[in-house]
């Protein structure tokens, strides 16, 4: 009984609390409403005052005049598949202007526009159609095209940022992998890719690299007035200290043939690459293994490289495409005949490289397709085979003939160039 009384008391108190909350809420509500009302009134007063002021009549005049202005400016963002012609048509520009501008930019090779870049258009409205006053758009990192109407036609100008060539030397010690250690010291991604390609014949980036290995790269950059790198040029020299030995490569051009050579004047390029793909992991080597789909032991007659779908696959050597189509369990498949001895083959591609078809001649490094998982495959990877006289061999163990060694006149010129590069290197380090 006693407990019931207490509960009752608390129940009563609870209602009292509810009431109190309601009262406070109501008071707050009326207060806020009255504040808002007075605020609106104040604003109205201000606005009336503003309308009567000289300032407003000036603004009114300005807006009115501009609304009537025949000149209009647009900042158009380029969409996929846009052309200068299409963009001007979208803005209802007179056909005569479109034809004249389109023909001139094509002739001057200034018609390449890229999606997501901006086109600034100023037009003048004239009896239902628009006439171009001026037009400007960006065609690359350093060039803007400016088109202005002149008396009879259009004046087309190419405005290029003034860039200065600056050679730099960057080096680092590898902690995790080459890419992150190169990014750490500010090397541009395209230079890193080229660097990796240069050493791709000698260094297996998956297995040879140890923490503590070193690299150095000497290359050209192009900087603007604010010292910002706008573009990169060629790699002049690069070296890697890996597997306890140093390999230095020099950029050398002779008789219009350029390449990278070691200190002895030996070309770095070999007939075939061991790894025709960048950034892949060797996931299954040549030899006996339990087949992941068939389930029984079978000789794996190639090398598998695991990589994300879409990773480019390169021709591991120059040659002629023998086949570029679906082939048995290989899925989308490409094979290349390099010479009378060697053929390489690539399986499970998601798609083929541009222009890759039977009979086409390809150079080493050309993108022939992209990693996928077509055919008999459990996940995205490249299945790579090297056939020597028709017999599949272990690509990772093959001893291939090295590139040529410079001799005579070429060798003499190389020695001179190499010393010059060494001197510059010592200066820039």
Cβ 147 vs Cβ 102: under 8 Å: no
Alpha-carbon gap, residue 166 to 275, rounded angstroms: 33
Q: Residue 128: left (phi > 0), alpha (psi -120 to 50), or beta?
A: left
Cβ 283 vs Cβ 303: under 8 Å: no
Comparison of 83 and 374: residue with beta carbon closer to Zn ion: 374
Chain contacts with Zn ion (rule: CB under 5 A): 302, 304, 383
- Residue number with the smallest Cβ distance to Zn ion: 383
Q: What is the CA radius of gyration of the chain?
A: 35
Closest CA to 102 of 144, 69, 135, 128: 135
Closest approach of Cβ 187 to Zn ion, in Å?
Answer: 33
Closest approach of Cβ 344 to Zn ion, in Å?
Answer: 13
Comparison of 43 and 326: residue with beta carbon closer to Zn ion: 326
Closest approach of Cβ 246 to Zn ion, in Å?
Answer: 34
- DSSP assignment letter at 259: E
HSE-up of residue 363 (Cα within 13 Å, Cβ side): 2
DSSP notation for 389-428:
TTEEE-TTT-------B--HHHHHHHHHHHHHHHHHHHHH
Comparison of 366 and 383: residue with beta carbon closer to Zn ion: 383
- The first and second tokens of residue 153, run together, are 């036609």
Q: How far is CA 206 from the centre of its chain?
A: 23
Alpha-carbon gap, residue 317 to 362, rounded angstroms: 8
Give the dihedral sign, CA 353/354/358/362: negative
Closest approach of Cβ 356 to Zn ion, in Å?
Answer: 20
Closest approach of Cβ 363 to Zn ion, in Å?
Answer: 25
Comparison of 130 and 275: residue with beta carbon closer to Zn ion: 275
Comparison of 338 and 348: residue with beta carbon closer to Zn ion: 348
Closest approach of Cβ 285 to Zn ion, in Å?
Answer: 10
Comparison of 204 and 422: residue with beta carbon closer to Zn ion: 204
């Amino acid at each position: 009984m006693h407990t019931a009384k207490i509960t009752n008391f608390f129940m009563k108190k609870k209602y009292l609390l509810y009431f109190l909350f309601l009262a406070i809420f109501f008071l707050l509500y009326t207060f806020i409403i009255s504040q808002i009302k007075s605020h609106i009134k104040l604003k109205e007063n201000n606005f009336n005052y503003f309308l009567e002021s000289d300032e407003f009549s000036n603004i009114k005049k300005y807006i009115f005049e501009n609304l009537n202005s025949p000149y209009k400016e647009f900042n158009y963002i380029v969409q996929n598949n846009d052309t200068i012609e299409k963009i001007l048509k979208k803005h209802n520009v007179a056909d005569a202007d479109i034809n004249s501008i389109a023909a001139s930019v094509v002739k001057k090779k200034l018609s390449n526009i890229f999606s997501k870049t901006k086109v600034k258009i100023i037009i003048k409205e004239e009896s239902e159609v628009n006439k171009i006053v001026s037009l400007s758009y960006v065609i690359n990192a350093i060039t803007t095209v400016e088109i202005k109407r002149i008396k009879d036609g259009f004046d087309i100008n190419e405005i290029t940022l003034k860039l200065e060539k600056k050679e730099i030397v960057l080096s680092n010690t590898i902690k995790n992998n080459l890419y992150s250690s190169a990014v750490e010291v500010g090397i541009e991604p395209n230079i890193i890719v080229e660097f990796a390609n240069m050493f791709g014949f000698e260094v297996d980036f998956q297995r040879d690299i140890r923490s503590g290995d070193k690299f150095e790269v000497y290359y050209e950059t192009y900087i603007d007035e604010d010292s910002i790198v706008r573009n990169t040029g060629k790699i002049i020299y690069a070296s890697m200290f890996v597997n306890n030995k140093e390999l230095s490569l020099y950029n050398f051009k002779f008789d219009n043939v350029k390449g990278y050579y070691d200190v002895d004047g030996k070309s770095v390029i070999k007939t075939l690459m061991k790894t025709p793909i960048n950034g892949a992991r060797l996931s299954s080597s040549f030899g006996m293994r339990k087949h992941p789909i068939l389930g029984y032991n079978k000789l794996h007659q190639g090398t598998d490289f695991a990589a994300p779908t879409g990773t480019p696959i390169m021709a591991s050597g120059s040659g002629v495409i023998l086949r570029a189509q679906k082939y048995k369990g290989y899925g989308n498949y490409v094979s290349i005949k390099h010479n009378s001895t060697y053929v390489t083959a690539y399986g499970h591609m998601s798609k083929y490289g541009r222009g890759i078809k039977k009979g086409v001649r390809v150079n080493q490094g050309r993108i022939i397709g992209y990693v996928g998982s077509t055919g008999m495959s459990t996940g995205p990877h490249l299945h790579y085979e090297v056939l020597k006289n028709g017999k599949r061999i272990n690509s990772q163990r093959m001893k291939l003939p090295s590139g040529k060694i410079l001799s005579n006149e070429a060798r003499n010129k190389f020695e001179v160039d190499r010393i010059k590069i060494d001197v510059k290197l010592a200066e820039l380090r």
